[in-house]
Chain A
Amino acid sequence: MENKMTLEQFEAYLGQYGADIEAWPKHTRSAARIFAEGEEGGLCLAGEIALQDLLAAGRIQNLDVGADQQADAFALRLGDIPLNHPQVGAEKPEGQIGFLRFSRILGFFGDQSWVSVPALVSQAAIFVVVLGLGVLVGMNSGYSGLVSQTEIDVSDVLFVSATDYYLDEE
């Protein structure tokens, strides 16, 4: 058992075990009680009790602030953050990934709206329409039946004329 306690020792135990001396280690209690009856110890103990009360009141205030109605409204407001802020490095919907990767490789196209789904659908529609028109125009032209092989074979004429040219030179 310690018979005497210094202010430093008393403060150290006070900081570690609080203002209730009965909660301190058994071997310190007797000396602590004697020290607490003195002016220094009494002031120190009173200061610790006042501090404990003040901190407890502050803790309750914090709980009130954390649980009031405005706190609930605030938490609900936080829930809207995903609607207004895109995630960094977020993946796009699967259907676009391949096209978007391709368009990123082609970076010089600036904005990549030309590879969006509506743009691609409209491009495909235009392609079909133009192709269809081409086929229709082809089918309605003056073309009638097959042309015989002799009608289109001009190789004889070309060959003869080229031979004549070389003979004339000699």
Chain B
Amino acid sequence: MVHTAIDSLEDEELVLRICSGDQQAFRTIALRHGGRYRALAYRFVGNMPLAEDMVQEAFIKLWTHAAHFDRDRAKFTTWFHRVVVNKCLDETRKRKTVALPENFDAADETASADKQMENEAIAARLGIVLAGLSERQNTAVTLSYFDGLTNQEAADVMEMNIKAYESLLFRSRAVMRQSLLAEKSDLLSVFA
């Protein structure tokens, strides 16, 4: 009964409880968002164990420093997106390599071979397209198109105003479109 009551609480209320040492509130928020942030981090670092480390560090920070969250300034998810994204960007800068997504179904033994090949092809094409973007463009594309945030939410995460964010996203799309067209013309020239 108590768990049901906690499950129905909003994130911001749960964080308040976490501040006072409520472990059940922490577990609820971890179960609610853990998978989503794992996928988000994976998009950035392209390596699942590393992505899980990044998210785990972010959740440790949430538990140990929950009081740093200011509910008057931002939604929990906006604040936590920022924490996870910044951790991932720091990590990718440290590594100084372009993180191309590894095989998405590598650990999924139930996926069919066809599905696996399809996923690999998509991941490879996305890797090519995203490689042409700057760090900020890549972040914007990841938040808006893969993580599914609204433009306003993503702008808040990146601490930009909405107009500047939409402009960034627009330029990112143009770059990606050009990459795809270049890839296509390369293929056509090979066949020609």
Q: Is the CB of B30 within 8 A of A78?
A: yes
Using CB atoms, name the residue of chain B closest to A59: B146
Q: Is the CB of B170 within 8 A of A74?
A: no
* Residue from B34, B42, B123 in contact with A75 in the complex, judged by beta carbons closer than 8 Å: B34
Tell me the minimal C-beta distance from B111 to chain A in angstroms: 9
Q: Is the CB of B178 within 8 A of A66?
A: no
Using CB atoms, name the residue of chain B closest to A67: B35
Q: Is the CB of A51 within 8 A of B34?
A: no
Q: Is the CB of A74 within 8 A of B52?
A: yes
Residues of B within 8 A of A (CB): 21, 23, 26-27, 30-31, 34-36, 38-40, 42-43, 48, 52, 55-56, 59-60, 63-67, 104, 107-108, 119, 122-123, 125-126, 129, 141, 145-148, 170, 173-174, 176-178, 180-181, 184
Chain A window 62-88, contacts with chain B (Cβ cutoff 8 Å), 1 for yes, 0 for no: 111111101110111111011101111
Main secondary structure of the interface of B (DSSP, over half): helix
Using CB atoms, name the residue of chain B closest to A48: B177
- Using a CB-CB cutoff of 8 Å, which residues 79-130 of chain A contact chain B? 79, 81-83, 85-91
Bound complex: CA of A85 vs CA of B42, how far in Å?
Answer: 24
Residues of A within 8 A of B (CB): 11-12, 15-16, 43-44, 46-48, 50-51, 54-55, 57-59, 61-68, 70-72, 74-79, 81-83, 85-91
Q: Is the CB of B107 within 8 A of A90?
A: no
A62-B147, A71-B39, A85-B60 known; A54-B126 Cβ under 8 A: yes
A47-B178, A58-B146, A61-B104 known; A87-B64 Cβ under 8 A: yes
A54-B126, A61-B104, A79-B30 known; A66-B64 Cβ under 8 A: no
Main secondary structure of the interface of A (DSSP, over half): helix
* Residue from A46, A78, A86 in contact with B34 in the complex, judged by beta carbons closer than 8 Å: A78
Using CB atoms, name the residue of chain A closest to B129: A54
Q: Is the CB of A15 within 8 A of B31?
A: no
**List of A residues within 8 angstroms of B65 by Cβ:** 88
A47-B177, A47-B181, A82-B63 known; A55-B145 Cβ under 8 A: yes
Q: Is the CB of A88 within 8 A of B184?
A: no
Bound complex: CA of A74 vs CA of B49, how far in Å?
Answer: 10
Bound complex: CA of A11 vs CA of B181, how far in Å?
Answer: 14
Bound complex: CA of A77 vs CA of B23, how far in Å?
Answer: 13
**List of A residues within 8 angstroms of B141 by Cβ:** 55
With A61-B122, A75-B34, A90-B21 given, name 8 new contacts (CB 8 A): A16-B170, A57-B126, A58-B146, A71-B34, A81-B26, A81-B30, A82-B27, A91-B21
Q: Is the CB of B66 within 8 A of A15?
A: no
Point out which of B26, B31, B35, B65 has the most chain A C-beta atoms below 10 A from its C-beta: B35
A50-B184, A66-B39 known; A89-B108 Cβ under 8 A: no
Bound complex: CA of A55 vs CA of B176, how far in Å?
Answer: 10
Q: Which 3 A-B pairs have the closest CB atoms?
A: A75-B34, A71-B35, A66-B39
Tell me the minimal C-beta distance from A38 to chain B in angstroms: 15
